[in-house]
Amino acid sequence: MKLLISNDDGIFALGIRTLADTLAEAGHDVSVICPDRERSATGHGLTLHDPIRAEVIDGIFHPKVKAWSCSGTPSDCIKLGLGALIDSPPDFVLSGINHGSNLGTDVLYSGTVSAAMEGVIEGIPSIAFSLTSYASQEFKVAAIFAKTLIEQLATHPPIKVILLNVNIPAVKLSEIAGVKITRQGIRRYFDTFEKRIDPRGKTYYWLAGEAVEDIEQPSHIHLPDDVPTDVHAIKEKYITITPLQYNLTDTAGVYSLQKLSLSVGLE
């Protein structure tokens, strides 16, 4: 299969190298286009007021992998790849393997998920992969699962173009409890801004804080409550697969507002 891979950790990240090399060794046609530096938490940002530059990269990946570094965001990388750098659309757009989880509401900020989302916007099935640890350097289990998943999806394609957000526990293969299809949970952060003074005496702020994961998750209007959230399932050492969409319309909100019979207020 033809695969286009990006990330938000940058061209030199171990996660994307492990993913791309594993897939190339399995015989897939792999192209890598990712930021020239870390672009974590950039969301779905695009570069509109500056040129985007791309440089061919040799010697980092498997010899069969075609690779470029890009001066733009993760979403820029996919747009540039599809529009200028690769000769035909891929079968899948992949993103990752991210160093750190992308669970619950993290997906709203994630450059990893946004790169995959860009593929879906262009009509290509896409998958974002994340290893749920910042400390672990062991991406092989996640890469092997990625290879298995895309090959299964190629054999049994979903009924529509789909984005999957996949999180893999940072444990040994023997410790993984299994695979669960999940719904998006809630992951809130207790944010703090540390005030500092630079060498010129000017004030700046450094965002810090820690995740606060909700125990009681809200129900979903279209899904039964026995479908677990990604936040909960990952704690039990399951690989989580959460289908996402870019249509953010709140269905319950539409029905609620329709009952108000809102008027222009000019009469």
For residue 158 the two structure tokens come to 């979903």
Say how far apart CA 90 and CA 66 lie, in whole Å. Answer: 13
Please tell me the pTM assigned to this model: 0.90
pLDDT of residue 94: 98
Say how far apart CA 238 and CA 240 lie, in whole Å. Answer: 6
Averages of pLDDT over runs of 10 residues in the chain (267 residues) are 96 97 97 93 87 95 97 95 95 96 91 96 96 93 96 89 96 95 82 86 81 59 78 94 91 86 72
Q: Indicate the helix (H) or strand (E) that contains 151.
A: helix 140-155
pLDDT of residue 252: 82
pLDDT of residue 267: 60
Residues 6+ apart with CB under 8 A from 152: none
Query: Is residue 157 within 8 Å of residue 126, measured between CB atoms?
Result: no
pLDDT of residue 216: 52
Is the peptide bond between 60 and the residue preceding it cis, with omega within 30 degrees of 0? no
Distance of CA 259 to the CA centre of its chain: 37
Residues facing residue 29 across a β-bridge: 2
pLDDT of residue 256: 87
List domains and CATH numbers for the chain: 2-183+223-254 (3.40.1210.10)
Residues facing residue 191 across a β-bridge: 209
Output the CA torsion sign for 143, 77, 124, 128. Answer: positive
